[in-house]
Structure 1
């Protein structure tokens, strides 16, 4: 497995346990870019974060991905198979940049959303920001990402904007960072309905890492009982040799 060794990756998993989704993503991001300043990663735009996590995932588990989406029409579970390259559509390849939005007498400049912004919302599931109606958290997020706003040409405090204006600006945030939201085009083989299913690489990668770590711990336990080796010695073994020893234990 390229990238971090088994011991390092197991440490990443341990550091992510018990964390909320945003902090967990930052733990994995720090492992993906070990030369970067950890304190600066929290201010990366979400699209940059997720693009790096997708590349990290490919280096660990390969380019192929599988997921299950439930049809909103008939409820059928649809198995999706795709690659990291499939997610690199032109709209997601655009760099994050400030965005100017005009709304009647208001004009606002929005910056891309960062992990710091999501942490400030104090939410346990920030991936649910894409709901059909604006929530207090969404309007608070929009207010945080306004770098400048005028009303009739005069500067105003973003905190004084009407809720409906903040809600509309919140809907525009995605245009400042197209790579921050990934959707898969799906068509149900049962009823034929098509829809866009959201895909969150941070959650996907954590799930894979969690299952990998649990399996590895079982392997360590098995070999330690059989041979009396330490965890360090077992994790230092190349994966193929570790599997070979596990095969001998099972015989």
Structure 2
């Protein structure tokens, strides 16, 4: 669980994840949000969202690209938005062509060594059969809807209604990176002007840092 002054926490997360892969960043955020290192992907997304709302508030501004016209679609995720809770984290059993096939929910470890391979969820299943794959994906989504977070949006530029998938951990990481880079700039300014250390500056609340930054410009 990430604890401590918000500035030092954000910089610490950014330092650990700035050269990491997306899968490694997902694991970092999961652990910072209180989950185990090999959490399910749904639990990892929920943990990352807890980090986001804890340090940046419940409502989040976002921008996605319209696939129809290429325009940027700006929107605000409501304060009550979060990746849905799982219905179960137990193994699933689906019936397919008279056989009972057991699936497990995907985990962070499934992403660590290259592209996701669904055979890890059920090694002997019929993944090359499109009908089975569709049935398996539906069962997994029913068990944990957070595996795919769809957003219903409308593009003002081309008046197109659309559904886009939110990459939760990618979104959270982008917000952390943005905040960390801005904080580094603030630290550099305040350290030069007042002679304070990084620890002293990052221990301040964002409001307190803003007060001193404003004073510098007057």
TM-score by length of 1: 0.74
- The reply on whether 1:175 has 2:142 as its aligned counterpart is yes
Q: CA deviation at 1:3?
A: 5.5
CA distance in 2, matches of 1:178, 1:48: 11
- Which residue in 2 is equivalent to 1:206? 173
Runs of at least 5 residues in structure 1 that lack an aligned partner in the other structure = 124-136, 147-157
Distance 1:65 1:144 in 2: 34
Kept after mapping to 1: 8 A contact 2:110/2:120? yes
Structure 1 pair 101–11 and aligned structure 2 pair: CA distance change class (3 A): same
CA, structure 1 residues 160+69, in 2 after alignment: closer, same or farther (shift >3 Å)?
closer
1:145 has 2:121 as partner: yes
Contact 2:14 2:180 in 1 (8 A): yes
Quick check: 1:244 aligned with 2:207? no
Shift of 1:110: 0.9
**Match of 2:107?**
114
Q: How many residues align?
A: 213
Contact 1:54-1:84 at 8 Å conserved across structures: no
| Range 98-107 or range 215-224, more displaced | 98-107
| Pairing partner for 2:192 from 215, 220, 225 | 225
Decide which moves more: 17-26 or 166-175. Answer: 166-175
Q: Paired residue for 1:155?
A: none
In structure 2, the gaps of 5 or more residues are none
Report the CA distance between 1:179 and its aligned residue: 1.5
Whole-angstrom distance in 2 between the partners of 1:71 and 1:218:
32
Alpha-carbon deviation of 1:167? 4.1
Q: Work out whether residues 87 and 182 of structure 1, in 8 Å CA contact, stay in contact via their aligned partners in 2.
A: no
Task: Find the aligned partners of 1:241 and 1:14 in 2 and give their Cα distance.
Answer: 23
Q: CA deviation at 1:15?
A: 0.5
- Cα contact 2:29–2:47 (8 A) shared by 1: no
| Distance 1:225-1:47 versus aligned 2 partners, 3 A rule | same
Q: CA RMSD in A?
A: 2.5
